[in-house]
């Protein structure tokens, strides 16, 4: 028995996944957008909502089948920034987002604060009703 060719192995061990063409004539697969290219390297356009089958070959190459008749190669679309720091004069560096910390008046914080106060050694000698009357929590 002869060993199958690499092309045959890639087709046999391929993973097939159904996807839908979006309004930009692209397909989203594994958190990445791809465009369909024909055999000459030109982008192919299908209507939004067209059902396609993404084929991930064993060697990692991606293909797309439309209506079980046409097969296209998939090319990743690089992510771009809205403005370029090198080209745009009005570019401002984005501010890092702060992690939101709820205030002490938040109901979830009150329970954890109450637990914290009661586990401190200097408050363990005091009566919990007395602490509550002083509006500590």
**Tens digits of residue pLDDT in 31-75:** 899 999 998 999 999 999 999 999 998 888 899 999 888 889 999
pLDDT score recorded for residue 126: 61
CB of 66 within 8 A of CB of 38?
no
CB of 70 within 8 A of CB of 63?
no
Q: What is the pTM of this model?
A: 0.55
> Which tens digit of pLDDT belongs to each residue from 89-127?
888 888 888 888 888 778 878 777 777 777 777 655 566
Buried b (16+ CB within 10 A) or exposed e, 15-27: eeeebebeeeebb
At 122, list the tokens. 């200097």
Cα(first)–Cα(last) distance of the chain, in Å?
80
């Amino acid at each position: 028995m002869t060993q199958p060719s690499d092309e045959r192995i890639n087709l046999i061990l391929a993973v097939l996944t159904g996807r839908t063409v979006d309004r930009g004539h692209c397909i989203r697969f594994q958190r990445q957008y791809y465009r369909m290219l024909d055999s000459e390297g030109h982008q192919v356009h299908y209507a939004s909502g067209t059902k396609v089958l993404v084929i991930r070959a064993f060697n990692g190459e991606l293909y797309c089948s439309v209506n079980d008749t046409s097969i296209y190669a998939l090319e990743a679309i690089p992510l771009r920034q809205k403005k370029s720091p090198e080209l745009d004069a009005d570019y401002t560096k984005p501010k890092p987002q702060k992690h939101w910390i709820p205030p002490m008046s938040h109901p979830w914080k009150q329970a954890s604060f109450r637990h914290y106060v009661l586990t401190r050694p200097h408050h363990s000698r005091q009566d919990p009703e007395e602490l509550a009357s002083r509006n500590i929590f």
